[in-house]
């Protein structure tokens, strides 16, 4: 791994704190505009809210319920842009909106909402095959009368990979980036933010840098950054809301398309095909605790399992079908008296000039879909001339189909790897896939699968350490090459992966042990195994 030079005493036009999707997008915009930019992240890039999302790139159908048409319009525009700019990572996804006689939303209201949604998007949804629609309907609970609507959004199965690509583009544009580097405090003097005090967690050394602007993109940590820097706002900027998910093994009757339905309390819940598994989410629970320690409660896990069990009673789902559960904190704006579902999903830029810290801005809110537009807006607010991207021609998005793509064969030949491996390289690395394949040609060790259950290869690990700023094994296997999120992964897979990686990385026994330990600690804290479900839920599944 590359040693990192000290930043102590350096000056940057812009310091971006927080390496989630918003922070990375903003650093990329500032660097592209020629500003000397520093991006720092206390853990790893995309390891917070970004990696704990529902992984849907959507226009915000439910935002129409609250009249946020401008937000929907912006979201749809950015969704279309991502579909065309990153087709290997963001792909169209058909949704079925399920209603029954117990649903709190009327079919008329939903039909009107979908009509408006399509008008805003400027095109009709693509047709879902009647066979798939009928297959889902047959699997649903026969005790209800179902009304099913069809619409289209998009999915980014691995937003961690999108962040990795934007990160490398920021570096190519001149940005300096540091993960595992904590901001201890923002230096404020004479009513202005003038720099930050950093601690590089890889070395333990403290450093101080000067800054023309400081942009706080730490998501649910935004208030904490201000508190530790003695920047006092008149009220909290954030009202943390926990969203939890469960990941199920694929079950008999599991949908091959995405479902949008209601839980017993009327909250919308997604049931999504994801990573050869089924992703179910999400909840909305007020959570003002430490975002680093957030975890799904047993009640939330049972709530989500009960929801999918009621949809598919014939599947006889139980706790044993849950691979793991995870949770993240939505950094929503602070609000009093509103239902959590009614709190706006619009982002805000809080200028701290009135708080005695001029030239510092905190980003509040934001989501995967609109990260790029948020970055452009924030860059303009600090005086950077960012042109608006070319308008997107509206029409059916061309989904990447590697099975029929000549590039797959070219990649396979270039690296002497299987077509399955070549397809995986293209799906996760896009135009970089051919270079990774050529690297793999150097040795059999680089062409070896990371573990026996995956077609992804050790050369991708080298790419993660060499170009994508990975520091730990968790950075690699949970985010850059996220095979550890797969259906097969276990502690044995982790050990096998470490042994296969050691040769090309030159690890000794101590390095293997420390990498394995840190990976399993992080993976266990992130992906929670649920406790045995209650007897009432067991009875419902029987």
Least confident range from 177-191, 233-247, 339-353: namely 339-353
Instruction: With a cut of 90, say whether residue 127 has pLDDT above it.
Output: no
Report the C-alpha gap between 502 and 179 in whole angstroms. Answer: 22
Tell me the three state secondary structure of residue 271.
Answer: strand
Which of 75-79, 181-185, 485-489 ranks highest by mean pLDDT?
181-185
The predicted structure's pLDDT at residue 89: 96
Question: For residues 180 and 201, is the Cβ–Cβ distance under 8 A?
Answer: yes
At residue 535 the predicted structure's pLDDT band, cuts being 50, 70 and 90, is very low
User: 393: which residues sit within 8 A by CB, 6+ positions away?
Assistant: none
Domain architecture of the chain: domains with CATH: 7-89+157-239+335-396 (3.50.50.60), 90-156+240-330 (3.30.9.10), 402-526 (1.10.8)
User: 5: which residues sit within 8 A by CB, 6+ positions away?
Assistant: none
| Segment 437-490, tens digit of pLDDT | 999 999 999 999 999 999 999 999 999 999 999 999 999 999 999 999 999 899
At residue 184 the predicted structure's pLDDT band, cuts being 50, 70 and 90, is very high
Instruction: With a cut of 60, say whether residue 322 has pLDDT above it.
Output: yes
Instruction: With a cut of 90, say whether residue 119 has pLDDT above it.
Output: no
Question: Cα–chain-centroid distance for residue 21?
Answer: 7
- What rounded mean pLDDT belongs to the chain? 91
Q: Are strands 56-57 and 147-156 parallel, antiparallel or unpaired?
A: antiparallel
At residue 402 the predicted structure's pLDDT band, cuts being 50, 70 and 90, is very low
| Segment 213-256, tens digit of pLDDT | 999 999 999 999 999 999 999 999 998 899 999 999 999 888 88
The predicted structure's pLDDT at residue 61: 84
Nearest C-alpha neighbor of 364 from the set 341, 331, 340, 335: 331
Tell me the three state secondary structure of residue 343.
Answer: coil
The predicted structure's pLDDT at residue 126: 59
Arithmetic mean of pLDDT, 146-152 = 89
Is the pLDDT higher at 532 or at 520?
A: 520
Arithmetic mean of pLDDT, 73-87 = 93
At residue 338 the predicted structure's pLDDT band, cuts being 50, 70 and 90, is low
Q: According to DSSP H, which parts of 430-477 are helical?
A: 433-440, 444-447, 458-467, 473-475
The predicted structure's pLDDT at residue 269: 94
Tell me the three state secondary structure of residue 191.
Answer: coil
Arithmetic mean of pLDDT, 128-156 = 84
The predicted structure's pLDDT at residue 390: 77
């Amino acid at each position: 791994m590359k040693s990192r030079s000290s930043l102590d005493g350096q000056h940057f036009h812009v310091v971006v704190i927080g390496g989630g999707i918003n922070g990375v997008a903003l650093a990329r915009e500032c660097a592209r505009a020629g500003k000397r930019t520093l991006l720092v992240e206390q853990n790893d890039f995309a390891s917070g809210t970004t990696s704990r999302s529902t992984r849907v790139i959507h226009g915000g159908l439910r935002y129409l319920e609250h009249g946020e048409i401008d937000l929907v319009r912006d979201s749809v525009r950015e969704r279309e842009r991502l579909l065309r700019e990153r087709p290997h990572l963001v792909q169209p996804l058909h949704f079925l909106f399920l209603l029954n006689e117990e649903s709190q939303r009327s079919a008329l209201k939903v039909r009107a909402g979908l009509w408006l949604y399509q008008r805003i998007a400027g095109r009709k949804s693509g047709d879902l095959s009647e066979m798939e629609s009928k297959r889902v309907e047959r699997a649903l609970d026969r005790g209800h009368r179902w009304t099913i609507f069809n619409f289209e959004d998009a999915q980014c199965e691995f937003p961690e990979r999108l962040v990795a690509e934007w990160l490398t583009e920021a570096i190519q544009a001149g940005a300096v980036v540091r993960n595992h580097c904590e901001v201890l405090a923002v230096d404020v003097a004479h009513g202005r933010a003038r720099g930050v005090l950093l601690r590089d967690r890889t070395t333990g050394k403290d450093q101080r840098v000067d800054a023309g602007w400081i942009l706080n993109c730490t998501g649910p940590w935004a208030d904490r950054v201000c508190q530790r820097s003695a920047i006092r706002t008149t009220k909290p900027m954030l009202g943390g809301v926990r969203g939890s998910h469960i990941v199920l093994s694929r079950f008999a009757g599991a949908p091959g398309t995405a479902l949008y339905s209601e839980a017993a309390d009327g909250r919308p819940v997604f049931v999504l095909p994801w990573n050869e598994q089924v992703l179910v989410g999400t909840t909305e629970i007020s959570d003002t605790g430490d975002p680093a320690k957030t975890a799904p409660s047993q009640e939330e896990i049972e709530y989500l399992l009960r929801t999918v069990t009621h949809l598919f009673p014939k599947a006889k789902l139980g706790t044993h079908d849950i691979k793991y559960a995870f949770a993240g904190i939505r950094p929503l704006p602070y609000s009093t008296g509103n239902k959590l579902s009614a709190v706006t999903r619009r982002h805000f830029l809080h200028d701290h000039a009135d708080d005695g810290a001029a030239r510092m801005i905190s980003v509040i809110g934001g989501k995967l879909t609109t990260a790029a537009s948020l970055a452009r807006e924030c860059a303009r607010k600090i005086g950077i001339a960012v042109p608006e991207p070319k308008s997107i021609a509206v029409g059916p998005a061309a989904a990447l189909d590697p099975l029929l793509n000549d590039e797959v064969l070219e990649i396979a030949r270039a690296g002497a790897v299987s077509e399955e491996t070549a397809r995986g390289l293209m799906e996760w690395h896009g135009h970089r896939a051919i270079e990774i394949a050529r690297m793999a040609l150097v040795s059999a060790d680089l062409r070896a699968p990371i573990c026996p259950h995956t077609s992804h290869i050790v050369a991708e690990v080298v790419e993660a350490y060499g170009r994508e700023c990975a520091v730990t094994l968790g950075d690699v296997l949970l985010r850059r090459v996220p095979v550890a999120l797969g259906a097969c992964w276990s502690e044995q897979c982790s050990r096998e992966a470490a042994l296969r990686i050691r040769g090309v990385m030159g690890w000794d026994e101590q390095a293997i042990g420390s990498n394995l330990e840190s990976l399993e600690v992080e993976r266990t804290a992130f992906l929670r195994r649920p406790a045995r479900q209650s007897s009432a839920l067991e009875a419902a599944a029987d």
